[in-house]
Each structure stands twice: as C-alpha cells, then as structure tokens.
Structure 1
Amino acid sequence: MSTFSGLTAASSALFASQRAMDVTGQNIANVNTDGYSRQRVDLKSISASTVPAVFSTSSGIGQGVDGDTVIRIRDAFMESRAQTEHATTASLTVRQSTLRQIEDAFHEPGDDGLQAQLSKMWSAWGDVTNNTTVANGGGARTAVLQTTQTVVANLHTISSTLDAQWSQNLDDLGVLVDDVNASAASIATLNQSIKQAGQAGLPTNELSDKRDALVLKIAEQTGATSTSEADGTVTVNLGGVTLVSGSTTISLALAGGTDPAAGATDPPRLVTAPGGTTVKPGGTAEGELTAMTTTIPQYRAMIDGVAQQLVTQLNTAHQAGFDLTGTAGGPVLDDGTGTGTDAVLPSTVTAANIRLRISDPDKLAAASLSKAAAGGIASGDSLNADRIAQLGSAAGSADGVYRKMIVGLGVQASVATGNLTAQTVISTQVDSARMSVSGVSIDEEMTNMLQFQHAYSAAARMITALDETLDVLINRMGVS
C-alpha cells in the first residue's frame, strides 16, 4: 500500500469514527424517547482491488473502513411477540375492568345491596305475622310495601347501571375504531415516506421508529400483526383482512345494535368500510365486544331471572291468602303493564320493568282463611304472612338465585384478576427482552463514545505520521 493509500484509509477511519460518535450522541439524546430504537454505524472494511493491472498487483491490504450506513437495532421476533402479548394483556384488562364494574353495580356485600334489602322485605312480612289487624298492623303492613318498593328500585338501578355500562363500552369502541383508522392512515403515509427515502438513499430510522410505535399501538387495540416488506414498508393484517398495505389502507367501522335491547338480536361487531366484511379483532376491541355480547348480557339475563323468580314466588304465595276485607290476595308485583285483575306473566318481567302493584297496605293478604271460612269476619290468623316470610330461605328462592349469581361473579372476577396478573408478568418480560436489544443504555453508549474517540485520535495520529513521512520524502530527500 502506498503512502497516499494510507492517507485514504486513515481519512476513512476519521470519517467513520466521527460518524459513530455522532450516532452515539443521537442515542444518548433519545435515551428517554418512547419508541426510539438505538442506532449503530454499520462499519465495513473496504477491500483492496481484486482486478490486477498490467504491471502491478494489489498488496492485499484494504483501503480503510466504510461507515456510511446507520442501522436500527431491532429484534423482529421480539417485536412480533410484543404485539401478541400487548394485545392479550389489553383484552384481559378490559375483561377485568368489566367484571369489576359489574360488581360495583350490585354493591355486594353491603347494607344497600339487593341481598340485604330482600332480607329486610321478608323480615317485614314476619312483623306482619304478629300484627294482622288494621289497628295493630298498619305500620307493619306499610313497612312491607316500603321494603318491597326498595327491592324494586334496587332492581331498576342494577338494570340501568348494566345498560349504562353497555353503552359506555359501545362509545369506547367507537372512539377506538376512529383512533385505529387514524393510526392506519399514518402508517400508510410513513410507509410511503420510508419507501421514497430508501430509494433516494436518505435515512429512514426515525420514520421507522414512529411507524413501529403506531403498529404496536394498533396491535394492542385490535390484535393486528405486521409483516416487513423488502422495500422497507410494513403490511398490517387484522383477522384475515389487510388493514395497511404499502400506502393504502382499509378503514374499520362499527356495526350492529346501538342499545342493549337491539344488541341482543344484532350484536355489535367490527366490519371493513367499504365492504362490510366482519373482522374478528383481538386486544382492547376484543375485550369491549366480549363485554357487550357476552359478559354484560349474561348478568342482565341473570338479574332478570332473579326478578322473575321473585315475582313467581311472591305472587303465588300472596294469592293463596286473604286481605283485611277477606278478599283473596292479588299479584304483588308485575311488569308495569297490568291493571286491575289482569293476569301477571313472570316471563315478561325484567329487572328494568318490575313494579309494585299494591299501594294499599290493607290489600296485603296476610291471612290464610277467607272471610266466609272465618265466620263472616276478616281472619287474623296471619299464617299466610308467615309463609311469605319464610320464602327467603326456601329452596330455589330469589335470594338463593341471587346469591349463586354473586358467588359466580366473584369467582369470575377473581379468575380475571389472576389471569391479568400472570399475563402482565409475561408482557413485562417480553418488553424487557425487547428493550434489552433496542433500548438505549447510557453505560453502553458512554463506553462506545470512549472507544470511538480513541479510534478517532489514532486515525488522526496516523494521518500526522503519514504527513511527516511525505514531508521527508518530498522536501528532504536528495538535500546535501
């Protein structure tokens, strides 16, 4: 290698070391930047000429170092794993949140929960047992109506709370869909910019970081996955549908019923727009849809079942007795559509429409004997009131159905919390492994800076030495 070739090699070392220090500074500057991937200069040795000349051959020594290329440090496998684990964590988070909100709707255990109010209602019927006449039983009978009305109001509150929760989930999903569409459009724009920059030989690392952060966000929201293409772009797929391909996108839309009643026959779902193809998502969207199509309707049906069981038991027992005038008792509860002596169908009763039918305390059928059977006077035996008071502990009672539901809810919520805890650990481990590859370490960068600084100094010293050699060769040789 000639002296001038040595200068070329040394100057390339100066440039490469300077570039490496610049990249190290960029890494340190973005140590706290979310989504930033550390960068590294891809140093490659420049080989000697392999084409022989007529009267010369190569010495076999290279021509220095090439430091033009700056690469991002990424692990494609860990990135794909992070998308999957983030989506699973998001779905489980929504499920736990849904069950926790349902628990809050029931207020159990507590003095204002339905279980406590049912107990107070049966206890009020027990008080009527000892106070069956008008003179002595007016207060007790009024207490029965008041406690029953409290039970009815609590059922209304639970039903409306569940409906409000369903509507909130629908609103949240609508916002999520808009956000996903906006992110998909941004990914397509970044894809186009990255492709054009790559073709022009311009840097694309920062653009790629922004795009990958958006891909991870969509993966968490919908369970989408991405595939890298040869031209630097990514393709985003969701449930068998290509959401983003190059610079083109397909939007998502929310279809189905917009209230709990309509949702029972036309469940909410994600579809493509245009096209209307149903998409099966993961992540947060999956959790929201599961809440609206399975979890909340399940507990709405259960609390309706409690209301129907209460109507069946209480009305049946009450109609077997007689009131203060000796008249056979009528239905105590109905669905709000019946009047007078209309038949009451428990199957039409829900927690939302259940109503206290009786407003006059004297109409409560506490006695077991009719006026005729009691010798022409109103019976005061109170046996029917006693039988009604025992309904709360009877087999298959509304209380038992409700307790079973609450226990099941508690178990489901506990399992959901446990699953989320375990999944969070997995997701955290995956993120740690991913960041150990692509994250910036101050200690490592400071070590690299010292390394490149010494390399720069050595290259500069080499140039100085070659300059001195050439000075001697050109200006001093042949001088007497």
Structure 2
Amino acid sequence: MGSTFSGLNTALTSLYAQRRGLDVTGQNIANASTEGYTRQRVVMHAQNANLTPGIYSTTTAVGNGVTVSSVERLRNSALDHRSFTEHANSSYHNERAGAYTLIEDVFGEPSDTALQARLQDMWDGWNAIAANPDKKAPKSAMLEQAVTVASSLNDAAAALDNQFKSTRAGLDTYVGQVNKAAESIAKLNHEIVLATQAGLQANELMDQRGQQMLKLSELVGATATELPNGALSVYVGSAPLVAEFNTREIGIETGSATKLQDLPDIEVNLRWKDTGTAVAVGGAMGAQMELLDKDGTLREISQRLDSVASKLASDVNTAHRGGYGVDGSTGLDMFVPYDPTDTPVTAANIRVNSDLLTDVDRVAVSSGDPKGATPILNGTVADDLSELATSRTGADASYQALIGDLGVSAQSSIRRRDIQNAVTDQVDAARDAESGVNLDEEMTNLLTYQRGYEAASRVLTTIDSMLDQLINRTGLVGR
C-alpha cells in the first residue's frame, strides 16, 4: 500500500515535468526565427512503484508520478544529409552561373557600344575611304574607330584577367573559412561528446555544429558521418577533413597562378597541408577551381578572344601591307603589339600602328602607287578591307561564334542553377516541416503544459487539505 504522503511526491513530479515542458516550449518559441535551430520536445514517462512482486503478493500502489526522460531534437538525419548534398550542388551552380554572367558583362553583347558594333564601324570607315581615297577625313575617322576596336579588345582581356584575380582571391578567402569551420566542428564534437557522456543535453551545440556543416557543404561539397559517441566526421571527396576531435587543413599550393597569363605553365592547385595531395572539392570552391583551371572557362574564353585579335590583325595587315598610301608608302602593318618583341598579337597587346596615327596619308588605300611613274589612286585596298566584315573566316565570324557559344553556355548554367535551387528549396521545406518551429503547435503545447501544471497544483492542494484534516482534526470529536 502506498504511503500516506506519496501523493505529494506524485503531484510534485508532475509540477517539475510540466514546468520542464513549459521551459522547452518557451525555448522553441524564442528561437522560432533563429537560423539552424531545431525544435525540441519533452519526452515523459511514468515512474513505477519500484516494488518487487512475490508470487502471491498484491499491491494497491499506482506508481510514483512522472519524470522527464529526455529532451529530443526533432531532426531527420536523412533529410540533413540530403540537404548537405543539395546545398553543395546549389552553391556550385550558383557560383558557375554567376561567373558566366560576369563574363557576359565583359562583352556586353548585343549593344551599340560593344565590340561587334565597333568592328562594323571600322569596316564602314574603310568603305567610306574606298569612296574617297584622296580625302584625309575618312581616314582619320577610320583610324579612330580602329583605335576603339583595339581598346575594346584590350579592355575585354583586362576584364577577364581581373575576374581571374578576383576568383583567385575569393578562393583564398574560402580556404580560410573552410579551415575555420572544420576547427569549429572539432571543438563542438568534443563538447557534445563530453555533455552526452555526462548525461546532459547538447541540442543547441548540435544545432551550431549543423550550421557549420551546412557551411562546409556549400563551400567544398563536404559530407558527414555520425559516430556512435555523438561526434561528426566530415569528408571532402573521400578524404577526411574532421575526424572526431582532429582536423586537417587545406591550402593553395605555393607558387600557384595569380593571373590569367600564368596559365598553363603555372596552375592553381588545392592541397592537403599534411600530405600535399590534391583536394577534390565541390560546392562553390569546385566551381571556382573550374574557372581557374588551365583548361577552364576563363582561359578558354581568353584564348578565343586572342584568336579574334590575331585574326583581325592578320587579315587587315595582309591586305594593308600590299597596298599604297596617298604618299606612296607601302608594306606597313595596321595592327601591331604594344611591345614590338611580343608575338603573336593578342587581345591584351593589340594596338593601331602609331606611324599611321601620326600621318593618315600612310594608310594604304590603293592597289597602285599614287607617286609612281604612272600614278594610281583607286581605293581598291580600302574596298577589300571593308569586305572583311562579311568574311566567313574573318575576325567577325570568330567573334560571333565566341559570343554565341558563350550565350548558350550561360543559359545552360542558369537553367541548371534554377532547377537545382528548386530541388534544394523542396528539400529545405521538407526538413523545416520536420525540424522547424510551428508557432501554432507550440501555443497548443503551451496550453497543454499550463493546464497540466494547474491540475498538478490542484492535486497538491487537495492532498494538503486532506492531510490537514487527518493531522489537525482527526480525534477531536467528543473532546
């Protein structure tokens, strides 16, 4: 049979349990907008009477109340790991699409001020010269247009190099963030394991670790494995980054390329600092490494732009060298590199020959010598140069192919980004439905625990009144 005073303890355990439920519900409500927070739930179970029954024994005991066995994190590990994977893919495609957008901005096509329009202006200038080969004004205008074409090629090459440098600087920053996040996860692993072994709750620490893990997945495409002791092992590719309480660092190989011109002789390599082996990264850093690679997007676009500049110089110079200026000069190149020792002509070094800029009469326009024994001034060379605009193998055709391929690649990257982001949003929505805080549900729980606390208080008051009757009033009748 239960003790006379056992009811007090039963009510008291209920007060403690309901109060714990109120505290946890309040914590959920307070963190409803906290990024990465996982809602928690109080798990209660009834306490037995701790009796050891005999074969023929009977008892009227009804138990010793309620106790809180744990406070659970309502987390789905499968959804967490799926989220890490999808966020890594989203970061990769977002970085890649952003890079293509910047490259498209370099060329700015189609536009009245972009390279294609400036090339057409130059060809139109040659056409005007063909109509008036003896006039200086059309030649001066054409030379200014040619200078603009060369400047546009210079600017595009410089912009691509600047994008390489900024991407390289961003990679440096990401490397530091990865190493810092890995160290943070190792420290949190240690704290979580100690707390778990001591029988304490480490839910908030696990939330912090989950945020750091999500950051690593976005940066390098990291994956994770949970250990029986509560620690988390993190992998980049198949190599460990965090092994329980220990971390490894990644770094950019000393002497790696810092500008586009360094490729392909010098590459950009990510290495494990302890072994020197290559790091197989994904996520945002994976997209950056593709941009910085010797066979990557930036170098490919740069090489094709150099081909446009080289083709332009070759075609124009070939025709120009064979023609005669009004002053009888011949054999001059129109497009030359800034440094005469540089070969071949590239988008970065192309310029208009200064000899022509100082004396426009040296611009080749005629197929014959205007100063010869039989003077010839026919504008044939200028006419031939103007027709390069429609050449199927000329600089214009090469440039149009470059812009067309760039547009296709950019659109493809944007579509893949949008599809991947939609998948990631779906996974995040499923995870939030599992672990996010629902204020309506929490308000219901709040009322449930409030009523439970009030009922336990009433039980305690009732038992107190009964005991008062028993202790202070029993035996007074007849005195």
TM-score by length of 1: 0.91
The residue aligned with 2:21 is 20
C-alpha separation between the residues in 1 aligned to 2:312 and 2:319? 11
The residue aligned with 1:233 is 231
Shift of 1:9: 3.0
Matched, 1:320 2:322: yes
1:86–1:219 CA contact under 8 A, matched in 2: yes
The residue aligned with 1:381 is 378
Pairwise mapping of residues 312-461 of structure 1 onto structure 2 (< 5 A)? 312-338=314-340, 348-357=344-353, 358-359=355-356, 360-370=359-369, 376-461=373-458
1:329–1:363 CA contact under 8 A, matched in 2: no
How many residue pairs match? The answer is: 469
The residue aligned with 2:286 is 286
Are the structure 2 counterparts of residues 55 and 468 from structure 1 closer, same or farther at C-alpha, using a change threshold of 3 Å?
farther
C-alpha separation between the residues in 2 aligned to 1:408 and 1:389? 26
Q: Give CA deviations for 1:290-340 in whole Å, capped at 9, x if unaligned.
A: 22221211111111111111122112222232223445433222334438x
Shift of 1:217: 1.0
Shift of 1:115: 0.6
C-alpha separation between the residues in 2 aligned to 1:463 and 1:246? 48
Q: 1:265 is paired with a residue of what secondary structure?
A: coil
2:270–2:278 CA contact under 8 A, matched in 1: yes
The residue aligned with 1:257 is 257
The residue aligned with 2:42 is 41
The residue aligned with 2:30 is 29
C-alpha separation between the residues in 1 aligned to 2:170 and 2:285? 9
Q: Give CA deviations for 1:247-272 in whole Å, capped at 9, x if unaligned.
A: 21111111232221224233323211
For 2:380, the aligned partner's letter is L
Matched, 1:104 2:102: no
Q: Give CA deviations for 1:441-476 in whole Å, capped at 9, x if unaligned.
A: 111111001111111222222333334444555566
List gaps (5 residues or longer) in structure 2: none
Are the structure 2 counterparts of residues 446 and 254 from structure 1 closer, same or farther at C-alpha, using a change threshold of 3 Å?
same
Q: 2:251 is paired with a residue of what secondary structure?
A: strand
| Stretch deviating more after TM superposition (66-75 or 385-394) | 66-75
1:326–1:379 CA contact under 8 A, matched in 2: no
1:176–1:285 CA contact under 8 A, matched in 2: yes
Q: 2:235 is paired with a residue of what secondary structure?
A: strand
C-alpha separation between the residues in 2 aligned to 1:60 and 1:366? 116
For 2:334, the aligned partner's letter is V
Q: 1:71 is paired with a residue of what secondary structure?
A: strand
Shift of 1:96: 1.4
Q: 1:369 is paired with a residue of what secondary structure?
A: coil
Shift of 1:52: 2.5
Q: 2:22 is paired with a residue of what secondary structure?
A: helix
Pairwise mapping of residues 31-110 of structure 1 onto structure 2 (< 5 A)? 31-49=32-50, 51-52=52-53, 56-57=57-58, 61-110=62-111
2:369–2:377 CA contact under 8 A, matched in 1: no
Q: Give CA deviations for 1:122-153 in whole Å, capped at 9, x if unaligned.
A: 111111112223xxx21222222221111111
1:36–1:206 CA contact under 8 A, matched in 2: yes
The residue aligned with 1:117 is 118
C-alpha separation between the residues in 1 aligned to 2:297 and 2:243? 35
2:95–2:287 CA contact under 8 A, matched in 1: yes
Q: Please tell me the root mean square deviation across aligned C-alpha atoms, in Å.
A: 2.3
C-alpha separation between the residues in 1 aligned to 2:56 and 2:81? 56
Shift of 1:370: 4.3
1:251–1:272 CA contact under 8 A, matched in 2: yes
1:89–1:424 CA contact under 8 A, matched in 2: yes
C-alpha separation between the residues in 2 aligned to 1:110 and 1:270? 39
Q: 1:264 is paired with a residue of what secondary structure?
A: coil
Shift of 1:278: 0.9
For 1:393, the aligned partner's letter is T
Q: Give CA deviations for 1:329-376 in whole Å, capped at 9, x if unaligned.
A: 33222334438xxxx96xx221011232342322222111246xx961
Identity of paired residues, percent? 37
For 2:267, the aligned partner's letter is P
C-alpha separation between the residues in 1 aligned to 2:381 and 2:51? 110
Q: Give CA deviations for 1:391-437 in whole Å, capped at 9, x if unaligned.
A: 01111111111112112222222222222222222212211211112
For 1:40, the aligned partner's letter is R
1:27–1:39 CA contact under 8 A, matched in 2: yes
C-alpha separation between the residues in 2 aligned to 1:416 and 1:447? 46
C-alpha separation between the residues in 1 aligned to 2:418 and 2:222? 23
2:328–2:362 CA contact under 8 A, matched in 1: no
Are the structure 2 counterparts of residues 78 and 125 from structure 1 closer, same or farther at C-alpha, using a change threshold of 3 Å?
same
2:38–2:435 CA contact under 8 A, matched in 1: yes
Q: 1:37 is paired with a residue of what secondary structure?
A: coil
C-alpha separation between the residues in 2 aligned to 1:261 and 1:375? 47
TM-score by length of 2: 0.92
Shift of 1:113: 0.8
2:18–2:449 CA contact under 8 A, matched in 1: yes
For 2:365, the aligned partner's letter is A
Pairwise mapping of residues 156-235 of structure 1 onto structure 2 (< 5 A)? 156-235=154-233
Q: 1:235 is paired with a residue of what secondary structure?
A: strand
Q: 2:216 is paired with a residue of what secondary structure?
A: helix
For 2:222, the aligned partner's letter is A
Q: 1:253 is paired with a residue of what secondary structure?
A: strand
The residue aligned with 1:462 is 459
C-alpha separation between the residues in 2 aligned to 1:327 and 1:182? 67
1:141–1:361 CA contact under 8 A, matched in 2: yes
For 1:116, the aligned partner's letter is A
1:329–1:364 CA contact under 8 A, matched in 2: no
Shift of 1:30: 1.4
For 2:283, the aligned partner's letter is G
